[in-house]
């Protein structure tokens, strides 16, 4: 528990948030779904360093819950897993349990939640990306304390050495003569010089460690984007990072001390979910599904977006279960305005034509999408479910057809671009990533084996889905920090992608 | 009240030093020193087996007990000597800031305790900033290590001054206590270099002999020079061997399983340290050389020790390593082939690592010989420095 509070404090005092992982600026994993007969809402506060301590919060719905346990594991450790940690009920909260969980290894990990109670036992697996994400400045009070104590110890050591040379070898009662005193002073001077060297070396060492840590902070693969005009306007997204382009060249990877990325796998049938957001007004948005021939260049037909500078985000899932959001910028000239053919039937976009509301959006077909905020509004770092209902113009629930495997998709971004996250009804987690944990077998060490099995299962799953006649969908989330946010929610009806946009205000947490 | 070291030794100089009459502070600091090394070996085993620890794991408690026992004992000695010490006790102390008085070793122990305490908040911050124990060798761990060494060296100095002041009839008792404290210190050194030089897989590479060539002699030679035993290096390394063997044999008896992921090697019992290095053989050779050369010719002696040490190490460990990699060593006695829970097991377990290879990747006897040559020079320099320190230690009386 000491570690838990330390981790929380660390998050507060961290001097500089540089980058986060699977999404941008939103490192916590949020999952809502079934754990056997129980319904769970899980939030995993991932550690900012590796190894580090994650804080897992589990809200359980279901009668007679007796025990909640959480367990971490790395994607490739199939031989054994540690026993689950028992999560303790959180004081003052109903059905909320929490536990600190040590995450020892960076990369693709999972947090399994076990629930045991009157209804039997259940388990949910939440994929979690664990990476170093920030630098921590030395607390000035701690620094000052260490300097004071360090000076005392430095002086103390020199005094001891002086005493040793002056009196240590004298017979009891004998007084040190002049020669011995000179010897003692010489020894003290030499020790001072030696210790100064040790401290200098220590400081160099520390600087080196800090530099190495800074290098280890996760940075998504480098990418660039270009827009092509002409009869078939196109948006190209290129994963330009050498580590990705040279991923099959073992000698190059070894020379550059780089790890090999596992291949990209489709998430709901799409290798990449590409999002374009116009900056700085956030007035235009697109969700595209580019195609690729080489896993390096991803091309999508450009929808009719207005001109301007756009931030482009590419969400990918690796076969290890690791998810990352690559980003680039592109200047659009409005060339796509005459586009008649999109490269994917699931591509959708939205251009704001009026001021956005926080709770209501009129969709292209005239139906109305509403967002219900929790009592007290949205508050940073607090579990919140974005509850969406869609009703037709004549006030009937709009039937939500499965859109890329689910009733809806949502995208959240902060107005300064420091947060970007792609949400599903199950939370921030990628379904494909989750499936890699559920379906991995010991023989899946050959790249592509697991991916093939996953695709077969996913196709079956997507074909089985039926429309949701209630016209309701919800997205579990916890906003990482206060500020102004934009939310786009996409649903499908009559084969048409409908996008609603909202402008939200997230309040700071009361400390 | 004559219960401080100096007073008690004065009494004992007039009568035989039966074991029961050894002053309690001497027991206390030697106990603290032993706790440190036992706690450290236990803690390493814990991290290789269970992984997850708290401030209160038994291995950590042992370290805390060591700091508390050494700090309180020596703090009490200093305060008592300064404010209520008998004139004889004050006469056998050294002064700190011209006022406080106490035995030299007590000051070093107090300094070590403060270093250990200082390392705790520093280490906590380090964990938050860079990760939980990413590396064993980190700046805050080095502050802790200096503290641990401080307590061990302090304890050693207290036993040393007791030995150096003891009357002839008590000599043997105090010499053995000193040798034990020295053995504990050598065990500590061998534990600190464990990552670099401990497993059999490293013993065909010259790096192993470079590391063991300077680290062990830097301490062992001086410790032996200050001892009054006939076979000091042999005795000290025998104590190292006894402590290390006891630890590996006992640890393996306890069932334990990993509490952290990823588990690539599902261990079922505490994973011990590797079988101790056979330092006793080169130490015996060093004793013979020291007896033959005698005192007063330390430059020549250092050169001979450096050469003897490294050659004896190579002669013993080259073949010993081959045995340790055979199935015959994979048992409770030799504790070979036991790896951490997060080790991805593979054929590397039975191969030699860090071999001296040429550009084409082939093992080169020439490169190995060059490495051994460097190890010999390093060992000679370390031995000379150690002899200088040992000569000074032989005269410590306070």
CA distance A442 to chain B (A): 12
Tell me the per-residue pLDDT of A195-205, one tens digit each, with 9 for 90 and over: 999 999 999 99
Confidence of residue A19 (pLDDT cuts 50, 70, 90): very low
Strand A368-372 relative to strand A378-379, pairing: unpaired
Kindly state whether residues B342 and B202 are assigned to the same domain. yes
The DSSP bridge partners found for residue A60 are A40
The CA distances from residue B224 to A165, B290, B381, in Å, are 20, 9, 16
Q: Look at residue B397 and give its three-state secondary structure.
A: coil
Tell me the per-residue pLDDT of A214-230, one tens digit each, with 9 for 90 and over: 999 999 999 999 998 87
Concatenating the DSSP letter of every residue in A161-205 gives: HHHIIIIITSPTTPPP-HHHHHHHHHHHHHHHHHHHHHHHHHHHH
Residues of A in contact with B95 (CB under 8 A): 163, 167
Closest residue of chain B to A164, computed from CA coordinates: B104
Tell me the per-residue pLDDT of A371-413, one tens digit each, with 9 for 90 and over: 998 888 999 999 889 999 999 999 999 999 999 888 999 999 9
Kindly state whether residues B202 and B284 are assigned to the same domain. yes
| Tokens read off for A509 | 């947490």
CB A292 within 8 A of CB A271: yes
pLDDT for the residue numbered B14:
42
The three-state DSSP-derived secondary structure of B205-223 is CHHHHHHHHHHHHHHHHHH
CA distance A163 to chain B (A): 6
Distance in angstroms (rounded) separating the CA atoms of residues B46 and B311? 35
Kindly state whether residues B213 and B313 are assigned to the same domain. yes
Asked if pLDDT for residue A240 goes beyond 70, the answer is yes
Looking at residue A353, the DSSP 8-state letter turns out to be: -
Concatenating the DSSP letter of every residue in A361-392 gives: EE-TTS-EEEEEPPTT-EETTS-EEEEEEEE-
Residues of B in contact with A146 (CB under 8 A): 118, 121-122
Q: Look at residue A145 and give its three-state secondary structure.
A: helix
Tell me the per-residue pLDDT of A346-378, one tens digit each, with 9 for 90 and over: 999 999 888 899 999 999 999 999 999 888 899
Concatenating the DSSP letter of every residue in B345-395 gives: --GGGGS--S--B-TTS-B-HHHHHHHHHHHHHHHHHHHHHHHHHHHHHHT
Residues of B in contact with A82 (CB under 8 A): 51-52, 257-261, 263
Tell me the per-residue pLDDT of A55-105, one tens digit each, with 9 for 90 and over: 999 999 877 899 999 999 999 998 899 999 999 999 998 899 999 999 999
Most B CBs within 10 A among A3, A4, A7, A82, hence the mutation to make, goes to A82
Residues of B in contact with A70 (CB under 8 A): none
Distance in angstroms (rounded) separating the CA atoms of residues B155 and B26? 7
- CA B80, B84, B85, B90 torsion: positive or negative? positive
Most B CBs within 10 A among A127, A164, A188, hence the mutation to make, goes to A164
Averaged pLDDT for residues A258-274: 92
| Tokens read off for A309 | 């500078």
Kindly state whether residues B259 and B378 are assigned to the same domain. yes
Q: At what angle do helices B24-49 and B171-192 cross, to 10 degrees?
A: 20
Kindly state whether residues B149 and B219 are assigned to the same domain. no
Tell me the per-residue pLDDT of B341-395, one tens digit each, with 9 for 90 and over: 999 999 999 999 999 999 999 999 999 999 999 999 999 999 999 999 999 999 9
Kindly state whether residues B361 and B218 are assigned to the same domain. yes
Backbone angles phi, psi at B69, to 5 degrees: -65, -50
Task: Please tell me the least confidently modeled range out of A276-285, B7-16, B103-112, B344-353.
Answer: B7-16
Tell me the per-residue pLDDT of B241-283, one tens digit each, with 9 for 90 and over: 999 999 999 999 999 999 999 999 999 999 999 999 999 999 9
Tell me the per-residue pLDDT of A249-260, one tens digit each, with 9 for 90 and over: 999 999 998 989
Distance in angstroms (rounded) separating the CA atoms of residues A453 and A461? 13
Kindly state whether residues B246 and B128 are assigned to the same domain. no
Count of domains forming chain B:
2
The boundaries of the domain holding residue B356 are: 196-398
Backbone angles phi, psi at B239, to 5 degrees: -65, -40
Q: How far is CA B346 from the centre of its chain?
A: 31
CB pairs under 8 A, 24+ apart, for A43-48?
A: A43/A383, A43/A478, A44/A101, A44/A111, A44/A126, A44/A128, A45/A7, A45/A11, A46/A21, A46/A103, A46/A128, A46/A129, A46/A130, A46/A133, A47/A7, A47/A103, A47/A130, A48/A10, A48/A11, A48/A14, A48/A132, A48/A133, A48/A134, A48/A136
CB A54 within 8 A of CB A100: yes
pLDDT for the residue numbered B97:
87
Query: Do B114 and A80 make contact, defined as CB atoms within 8 angstroms?
Result: no
The DSSP bridge partners found for residue B357 are B363
Kindly state whether residues B203 and B337 are assigned to the same domain. yes
Helix/strand/coil percent split, chain B, to 5: 70, 5, 30
CB A156 within 8 A of CB B117: no
Kindly state whether residues B31 and B166 are assigned to the same domain. yes
| Last-in-domain residue among B166, B192, B218 | B192
Query: Which has the closest alpha carbon to A300: A238, A234, A239, A346?
Result: A234
Distance in angstroms (rounded) separating the CA atoms of residues A388 and A423? 13
pLDDT for the residue numbered B175:
95
pLDDT for the residue numbered B1:
37
Kindly state whether residues B237 and B286 are assigned to the same domain. yes
Averaged pLDDT for residues A150-174: 94
Asked if pLDDT for residue B19 goes beyond 70, the answer is no
Query: Do B131 and A52 make contact, defined as CB atoms within 8 angstroms?
Result: yes
Query: Do B94 and A73 make contact, defined as CB atoms within 8 angstroms?
Result: no
Tell me the per-residue pLDDT of B281-303, one tens digit each, with 9 for 90 and over: 999 999 999 999 988 899 999 99
| Tokens read off for A391 | 């009703």
| Nearest Cβ partner for B266 among A73, A79, A142 | A79
| Nearest Cβ partner for A205 among B6, B118, B139 | B139
Distance in angstroms (rounded) separating the CA atoms of residues A114 and A105? 21
Q: Which residues contact A487 (CB under 8 A, 6 or more apart)?
A: A371, A386, A410, A411, A412, A501, A502, A503, A504
Distance in angstroms (rounded) separating the CA atoms of residues B324 and B350? 9
| Nearest Cβ partner for A80 among B92, B128, B266 | B266
Asked if pLDDT for residue A498 goes beyond 90, the answer is yes
CB B186 within 8 A of CB B235: no
Burial class (CB in 10 A: 0-12, 13-18, 19+), A443: exposed
Regarding the domain with residue range A2-133, which homologous superfamily does it belong to in the CATH classification? Immunoglobulins (2.60.40.10)
pLDDT for the residue numbered A307:
93
Residues of B in contact with A104 (CB under 8 A): 51, 132, 260-262, 342
Backbone angles phi, psi at B125, to 5 degrees: -65, -40
Distance in angstroms (rounded) separating the CA atoms of residues A369 and B385? 82
Residues of A in contact with B259 (CB under 8 A): 82-83
Q: How far apart are the first and last CA of chain B?
A: 19
Q: For chain A, give every residue range classified as CATH 2.60.40.10.
A: 2-133
Kindly state whether residues B4 and B78 are assigned to the same domain. yes
| Nearest Cβ partner for A73 among B115, B259, B261 | B261
Cα angle B297, B301, B305 (rounded to 5 degrees) comes to 170
Kindly state whether residues B243 and B105 are assigned to the same domain. no
Q: How far is CA B345 from the centre of its chain?
A: 30
| Last-in-domain residue among B138, B157, B192 | B192
Backbone angles phi, psi at A489, to 5 degrees: -120, 130
Averaged pLDDT for residues B126-142: 86
pLDDT for the residue numbered A337:
59
| Last-in-domain residue among B192, B208, B235 | B192
Q: Which residues contact B30 (CB under 8 A, 6 or more apart)?
A: B155, B159, B177, B180, B181, B184
Asked if pLDDT for residue A271 goes beyond 90, the answer is yes
């Amino acid at each position: 528990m000491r570690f838990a509070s330390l981790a929380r404090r660390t998050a507060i005092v961290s001097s500089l948030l540089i980058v986060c992982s699977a999404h941008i600026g939103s490192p916590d994993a949020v999952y809502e779904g079934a754990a056997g007969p129980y319904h769970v809402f899980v939030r995993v506060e991932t550690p900012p360093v590796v190894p580090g301590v994650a804080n897992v919060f589990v809200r359980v719905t279901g009668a007679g819950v007796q025990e909640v346990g959480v367990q971490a594991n790395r994607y490739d450790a199939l031989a054994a897993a540690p026993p689950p940690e028992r999560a303790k009920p959180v004081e003052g909260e109903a059905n909320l349990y929490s536990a600190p969980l040590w995450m020892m290894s960076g990369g693709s990990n999972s947090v399994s939640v076990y629930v045991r109670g009157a209804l039997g036992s259940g388990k949910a697996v939440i994929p979690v990306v664990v990476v170093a994400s920030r630098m921590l400045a030395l607390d000035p009070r701690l620094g000052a304390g260490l300097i004071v104590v360090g000076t005392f110890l430095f002086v103390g050591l020199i005094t001891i050495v002086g005493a040793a040379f002056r009196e240590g070898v004298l017979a009891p009662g004998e007084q040190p003569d002049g020669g011995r005193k000179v010897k003692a002073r010489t020894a003290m001077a030499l020790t001072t010089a030696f210790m100064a060297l040790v401290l200098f070396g220590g400081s160099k060492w520390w600087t080196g460690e800090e530099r190495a840590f800074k290098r280890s902070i996760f940075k998504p693969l480098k990418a660039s984007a270009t827009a092509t005009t002409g009869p078939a306007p196109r948006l190209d997204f290129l994963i330009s990072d050498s580590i990705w382009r040279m991923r099959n060249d073992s000698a190059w990877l070894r020379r550059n001390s780089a790890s090999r990325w596992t291949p990209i796998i489709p998430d709901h049938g799409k290798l990449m979910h590409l999002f374009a957001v116009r900056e700085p007004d956030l007035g235009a948005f697109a969700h595209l599904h580019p195609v690729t021939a080489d896993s390096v260049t991803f091309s999508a037909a450009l929808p009719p977006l207005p001109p301007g500078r756009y931030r482009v985000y590419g969400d990918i899932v690796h076969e290890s279960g690791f998810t990352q959001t690559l980003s680039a910028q592109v200047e659009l000239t409005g060339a796509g305005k005459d586009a008649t053919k999109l490269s994917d039937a699931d591509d959708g976009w939205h251009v704001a034509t009026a001021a956005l509301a926080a709770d209501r959006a009129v969709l292209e077909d005239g139906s109305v999408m509403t967002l219900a905020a929790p009592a007290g509004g949205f508050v940073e770092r607090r579990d919140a479910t974005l509850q969406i209902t869609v009703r037709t113009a004549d006030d009937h629930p709009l039937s939500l057809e499965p859109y890329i495997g689910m009733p809806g998709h949502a995208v959240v971004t902060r107005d300064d671009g420091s947060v970007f996250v792609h949400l599903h009804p199950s939370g921030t987690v990628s379904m494909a990533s989750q499936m890699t944990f559920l379906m991995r077998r010991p023989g899946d060490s050959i790249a592509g084996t697991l991916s093939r099995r996953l695709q077969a299962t996913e196709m079956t799953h997507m074909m089985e889905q039926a429309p949701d006649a209630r016209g309701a969908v919800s997205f579990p989330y916890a906003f990482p920090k206060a500020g102004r946010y934009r939310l786009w929610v996409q649903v499908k009806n009559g084969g048409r992608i409908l996008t609603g946009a909202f402008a939200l205000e997230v309040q700071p947490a009361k400390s | 009240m004559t219960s401080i070291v100096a007073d008690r030794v004065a009494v004992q100089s007039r009568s035989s030093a039966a074991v029961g009459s050894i002053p309690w502070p001497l027991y206390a600091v030697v106990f603290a020193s032993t706790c440190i090394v036992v706690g450290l070996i236990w803690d390493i085993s814990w991290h290789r087996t269970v992984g997850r620890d708290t401030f209160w794991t038994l291995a950590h408690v042992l370290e805390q007990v060591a700091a508390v026992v050494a700090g309180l004992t020596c703090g009490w000695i200093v305060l008592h000597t300064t404010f209520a010490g008998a004139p004889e006790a004050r006469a056998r102390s050294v002064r700190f800031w011209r006022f406080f008085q106490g035995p030299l070793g007590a000051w070093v122990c107090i300094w070590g305790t403060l270093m250990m305490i200082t390392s705790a908040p520093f280490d906590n911050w380090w964990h938050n900033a860079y990760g939980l124990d990413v590396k064993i060798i980190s700046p805050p761990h080095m502050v802790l290590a200096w503290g641990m060494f401080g307590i061990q060296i302090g304890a050693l100095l207290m036993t040393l001054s007791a030995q150096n002041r003891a009357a002839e009839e008590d000599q043997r008792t105090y010499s053995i206590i000193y040798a034990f404290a020295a053995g504990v210190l050598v065990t500590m050194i061998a534990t600190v270099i464990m990552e670099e030089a401990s497993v059999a897989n490293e013993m065909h590479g010259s790096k192993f002999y470079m590391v063991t060539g300077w680290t062990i002699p830097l301490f062992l030679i001086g410790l032996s020079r200050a001892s009054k035993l006939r076979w000091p290096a042999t005795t000290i390394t025998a104590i190292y061997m006894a402590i290390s063997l006891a630890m590996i044999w006992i640890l393996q008896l306890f069932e334990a399983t990993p509490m952290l992921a990823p588990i690539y090697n599902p261990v079922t019992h505490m994973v011990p340290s590797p079988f101790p290095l056979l330092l006793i053989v080169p130490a015996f050779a060093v004793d013979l050389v020291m007896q033959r050369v005698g005192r007063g010719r330390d430059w020549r002696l250092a050169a001979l020790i450096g050469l003897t040490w490294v050659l004896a190490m190579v002669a013993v460990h080259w073949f010993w390593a081959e045995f340790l990699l055979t199935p015959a060593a994979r048992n409770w006695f030799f504790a070979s082939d036991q790896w951490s829970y997060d080790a991805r097991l593979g054929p590397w377990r039975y191969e030699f690592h860090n071999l001296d290879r040429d550009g084409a990747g082939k093992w080169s006897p020439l490169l190995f010989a060059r490495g051994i040559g460097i190890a010999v020079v390093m060992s000679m320099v370390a031995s000379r420095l150690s002899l200088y320190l040992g000569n000074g230690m032989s005269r410590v009386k306070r």
